[in-house]
Amino acid sequence: MRIGIIGGGPAGMMCAIKAGENHEVVLFEKNEKLGKKLFITGKGRCNLTNYTDEKDFMKNLVRNPSFMFSSIYSFSPFTAYYYFEDLGLPLKVERGNRVFPASDKSSDVIRAYEKKLRQVGVEVRLNTEVTSIKKDGETFILNGQEKFDKVVIASGGISYKLTGSTGDGYKFGKEFGHKIIDPKPGLIGINLSNNFDLAGLSLKNVELRVEKDKKIISREFGEMLFTHRGISGPIVLTTSSKINRLNDFELYLDLKPALSKEKLDSRILRDFEDNQNKNIENVMRNLLPRDLISYVLDSAKISGDKKINQITKEEREELVKTIKNFKLIFASLDDIDRAIVTSGGIDVKDIDPKTMESKLIEGLYFIGEVMDLDGLTGGFNIQIANSTGYS
Ligand code: FAD
């Protein structure tokens, strides 16, 4: 059997390796090298997977986790770990079970795939863009000339287009009657309309909360930072993936999530008692990052030069409320081209989760990020690519 695979990212490479053991495989990659996106993952270190079990893996998927059930059990994160070590790639596990190559070099991960591709005899065609897929009877014809019995689309999503992921798979999918779930940016910064001048300020141990109709939609605790456009950092990226299909919601920052309102109030009272004649702006330095104080006081409608002994009980209550519910005004998610992952893509309802074969077109397969699947940060997206590629 002759199989054509479109896209030399982790999904396409893994699939080519597996299929290459028993079939004649051609892997098409439009770039001059394989794994261009993989190269920039994990800030050049490649967070290859997460050293965790299948159940925990599923909790870190955003769209269609149940679709992954079968493929994650056939190629689990633990399997991936030992698979790559067996390929001669020593790995290490860091905070949050994140798995990286021991060398800290994503190029070593790409080299491991390449070595195995050579071993199983896959024909890799670089600088070769697939521009058309036609089906004539049982046969697929790529670029009007090459014939294949099966075709696998592993062309990735539509973010970081310079790496080659330009959404070609959506076009091919559509031509074969597949539904495309509107692609949205996932794991991306959030742009704000607040008039902040806080770029570079990073916050630890804060909680970013999303509310819609007074209900809490998402609540993420940890680190974030202010950018020129708004906010970014771990809890912001996670939040972005959860709200990218949501309208009319509100964003709040709890600047002291470890303290209840009552505890925060007692803490502020204590600070106030010790500093009766000082300006509130100065006293707040015990509690909040200096750059943030004027914004919090403005929001609580308290003048920064007011002396502590003039602060009313109502003002103090308003201050507590503001620190627990510091309002961020959502403008938009940052541009999809800067998204770590694309949420949306080929609707998985029309794909067999065991084999990744199209339910509409026999012999046509979709794997990796081109499908409507995305995970959180921590190595989950490359694992999706590898598990679906292996299936
Ligand atoms: P891709 O890696 O996008 O590969 C698709 C390939 O198909 C590309 O090489 C493209 O050139 C090729 N192609 C497309 N169309 C055609 C065509 N018509 N003809 C021929 N070739 C074609 N995930 C993690 O798990 N851990 C991380 O540390 C991590 N860090 C990231 C950091 C950044 C900055 C970014 C942008 C993403 C990161 N991700 C990370 C996400 C991860 O890189 C992707 O989810 C993963 O690469 C998807 O794999 P894929 O094989 O499906 O698609």
Using the 8-state DSSP alphabet, how is residue 334 labeled? P
Q: What is the pLDDT of residue 128?
A: 98
Is the separation of the CB atoms in 17 and 163 below 8 Å? no
When pLDDT is cut at 50, 70 and 90, the band that residue 82 belongs to is: very high
Q: Please state, in angstroms and rounded to a whole number, the distance separating the CA atoms of residues 82 and 86.
A: 6
Task: Write out the two tokens for 34.
Answer: 């394989």
Q: What is the pLDDT of residue 235?
A: 98
Measure the CA angle with vertex 91, ends 205 and 21; round to 5°.
130
Q: What is the pLDDT of residue 153?
A: 98
Residue 378 alpha carbon to ligand 1 centre in Å: 15
Quick: pLDDT tens for 186-224.
Answer: 999 999 999 999 999 999 999 999 999 999 999 999 999
Query: Relative to the CA of 128, which ligand 1 atom is closest?
Result: 20
Q: What is the pLDDT of residue 97?
A: 98
When pLDDT is cut at 50, 70 and 90, the band that residue 299 belongs to is: very high
Q: Please choose from 100, 153, 165 the residue to mutate so as to test ligand 1's pocket, defined by most ligand atoms within 8 A of CB.
A: 165
> Which residue reads 């959030």 in tokens?
190
Q: What is the pLDDT of residue 183?
A: 98
Task: Write out the two tokens for 222.
Answer: 């940890």
Residue 165 alpha carbon to ligand 1 centre in Å: 6
Residue 119 alpha carbon to ligand 1 centre in Å: 23
Residue 35 alpha carbon to ligand 1 centre in Å: 7
Per-residue pLDDT, averaged over 327-340, amounts to 97
Per-residue pLDDT, averaged over 88-103, amounts to 98
Residue 61 alpha carbon to ligand 1 centre in Å: 17
When pLDDT is cut at 50, 70 and 90, the band that residue 300 belongs to is: very high
Q: Please choose from 5, 37, 125, 341 the residue to mutate so as to test ligand 1's pocket, defined by most ligand atoms within 8 A of CB.
A: 37
Name the closest-CA residue to atom 30, ligand 1. Answer: 41
Q: In what order do the strands lie in the sheet with 330-333?
A: 326-328, 250-254, 202-212, 215-226, 230-232, 190-192, 330-333
Residue 382 alpha carbon to ligand 1 centre in Å: 8
Q: What is the pLDDT of residue 197?
A: 95
**Ligand 1 environment, Cβ below 6 A:** 6-12, 28-31, 36-38, 40-42, 46-47, 129-130, 154-156, 159-160, 164-165, 168, 340-341, 368-369, 379-382, 385
Q: What is the pLDDT of residue 104?
A: 98
Using the 8-state DSSP alphabet, how is residue 36 labeled? H
Q: Please state, in angstroms and rounded to a whole number, the distance separating the CA atoms of residues 201 and 19.
A: 49
DSSP string covering 122-151, please? -EEETT-----EEEETTEEEETTTEEESEE
Q: What is the pLDDT of residue 94?
A: 98
Per-residue pLDDT, averaged over 135-143, amounts to 97
Residue 343 alpha carbon to ligand 1 centre in Å: 13
Q: Please state, in angstroms and rounded to a whole number, the distance separating the CA atoms of residues 24 and 323.
A: 62
Q: Please state, in angstroms and rounded to a whole number, the distance separating the CA atoms of residues 344 and 95.
A: 29
